[in-house]
Structure 1
């Protein structure tokens, strides 16, 4: 079976522009290298091999990188952290090479928390065409002196789901140590799309507009109306937006068919339009790690990409820092270690914290409602519990990643990593036991 949900986008040469699009992430205005000419390049016609990754390999060390910008530029970003325009600056990579870049803050509620609690910033860094960093032009740097997001991205990546790579770096800002940051590329990179899907010509969308203190537009993939404009607030278009910024026909047609295809015809439609195998793998892993802050629990924090080569749409999981937490808080984290393996997949189990989030999740529930796909999901989950989703693999991974990080940590970050690792270990041991027992009875 093939998969139907994807997302990605490509920036161009660094250039000043708006800080945030309707998905709340930083993007510049149309740039050289992201022009109509780029959209004429047919990557889907070129030879391509699906990438695979070694689940035993570790990142190549913990590089020290540095962001430099003027005090005036940082003041402008601080004055409007969610909407400020990109600022010119420089980025020094782990080899000491200095790159001219455009800089901005990234994120919404996580950025808000990092500023309030630590007086730090999360960053989006945009490199020039021809001066890419590790092969890509748009990168994210989040203050994360823990392994939650890295582990979650690795599990998905090693299991065959298209997600960014993730590694820790030691970040300095204007000469001062900021801390231990997670570095990962943005799906909004044509090079990343071509690498993962063999094409970069499709439409890429990011789900939901959700910024602190502003009206929300969630992205539950229900039908919103017959006009392209009905979808614009809910899904930020990231590719082909310079050519046809108001054209949401691809997304609108997909959402319409997802919701309106009769039950009797749905398996055939899904087989033709969804890479079911990878979708089921994604649902299983995000369920295991208790990713409560994304689809299907919440209608946000994901990307959709029109995979032109496969003629399907693809879902790309995103923002995985709220994972591996054993502590249910009765508000946002409602999963913990004892969420069913079918949590929120057959009915609405997650109580939305915001009225506008709704209760329908057609992408996940219409697929799982098909007996053959439900069985395939459970079989895939069982298979993963013998490979990646085990105490042994996860404990070993945490120990090896921590051993690599520890020599580079400040005393503060070392304490935060130790505390987070204790929670992750407690989560993993309780979760694996619960999942194995439930799967054995299904």
Structure 2
């Protein structure tokens, strides 16, 4: 009998007045001071709620910024995601790890047990932030990082107040915005310039990963753009992949053919690349290789079952989700069926690409 690996324990320690301040307006992005105990070490931090629709839920997600010492595990900030709408509670990790296997840099993640002032909040996914320490840990050159925070980050120039609409600069300065503006304008008006501005291989592999996992939300936001200071090319980093493998953001079923083989048509960059036969052929080759080697039950079965079995005891302990254990136990079969159906659909669509 295999032992269930014990999860790291995090305890948020917040003064009652600061907790009331957070609760007074859950949509407020102002942080409050707190302390975070990770295993036996104590850190001074600033915390706030994170997410959009999930802030109204009883089990909320947190953004944590380390103050003293300013770094934990090579990170200056982390995200603690409740993953409450995902019946498996591991789609985000499964998807990000899968896309990493395709050769794309993705945030590290691990499941943890979270308490607040000693009271159990349950199972969370601790997710790495995409920032300067993210680049440093991967020996990537310094650069500029933008978070795509709304659907306006669709690489289009239509119906926008400015071409940086939809983006939040995480790293860099205002001068760097000119390069983002030039990139988006070129996509729309001078597409022949795209190869001088974009890491094409990275983009096509990212697109293939998002299409396989079917992250409907991930084509026009929920990603980061990284501008490499050495080769001056933009590349893309996936972010927030809980609504994947056949589930919508609210946990409802998303049919296997809901997202096309080239993702969302609203993504202008994909549209421009797919107009060109050379890029279309390369994308087709990448997708064929992934369907043959990695996006199949054989490759993913052990990963799914390991996550499911290792998290199950903590699902039973979670005050917010323990009653849904039957739903949790059905998810591996649901995911495997989705993989088979999605793979067959994409294979059929490949012939038309």
Identify whether the pair has TM-score above 0.5, normalized to the shorter chain.
yes
Where in structure 2 are the equivalents of 1:351-366 lying within 5 Å? 359=266, 361-366=267-272
Q: Residue 77 in 1 paired to residue 77 in 2?
A: no
- Structural RMSD (CA): 2.9
Aligned to 2:339, the other structure's residue is in SS state helix
CA 1:344–1:78 in 2, change beyond 3 Å: closer, same or farther?
A: same
For residues 42 and 119 of structure 2, what CA distance do their matches in structure 1 show? 17
Q: Alignment partner for residue 292 of structure 1, among 216, 240, 245?
A: 216
Query: For residues 420 and 133 of structure 1, do their structure 2 counterparts lie closer, same or farther at Cα, with a shift above 3 Å needed?
Result: farther
Q: Give the CA deviation at 1:317.
A: 1.8
The residue number in structure 1 matching 2:261 is 342
Which consecutive segments of 4 or more residues in structure 1 shift more than 4 A? 326-329, 332-335
Q: Tell me which protein shows more helix as a share of its residues.
A: 2
**Quick check: 2:246–2:253 contact (8 Å CA) kept in 1?**
no
* Counterparts of 1:309 and 1:388, CA distance in 2: 31
The Cα of 1:321 is off from its aligned counterpart by 0.9
Match of 2:275 in 1: 369
2:189 paired residue number: 260
- Is 1:230 aligned to 2:166, yes or no? no
Other structure's SS at 1:230 match = coil
CA distance in 1 between partners of 2:163 and 2:153 (Å): 9
Give 1:84 deviation, angstroms.
4.0
Match of 2:239 among 318, 321, 331: 318
Contact 1:179/1:410 (8 A) holds in 2: no
Residue in structure 2 matched with residue 99 of structure 1 by the alignment: 43
TM-score (structure 1 length as normaliser): 0.70
- CA gap of 1:130–1:65, structure 2 versus 1, over 3 A, is closer
1:124 aligns with 2:63: yes
CA gap of 1:404–1:328, structure 2 versus 1, over 3 A, is closer
CA distance in 2, matches of 1:251, 1:77: 34
Query: Unaligned 5+ residue runs, structure 2?
Result: none
The SS at the match of 2:44 is strand
**Among 94, 102, 108, the residue aligned to 1:165:** 108
Deviation at 1:326, TM superposition (A): 5.8
Q: Report if the CA contact (8 A) 1:76-1:84 is conserved.
A: no
Instruction: Encode CA deviations 1:124-167: one digit per residue, 9 max, x unaligned.
Output: 11113754222111100111261111111011112111220122
Structure 1 pair 68–128 and aligned structure 2 pair: CA distance change class (3 A): same
Are residues 204 and 275 of structure 1, via their aligned partners in 2, closer, same or farther at CA, if it must alter by over 3 Å? same
Q: Judging changes above 3 Å, is the alpha-carbon distance between structure 1 residues 225 and 73 closer, same or farther for their aligned structure 2 residues?
A: same
CA distance in 2, matches of 1:370, 1:293: 25
Gap runs ≥5 in structure 1: 1-59, 210-216, 349-358
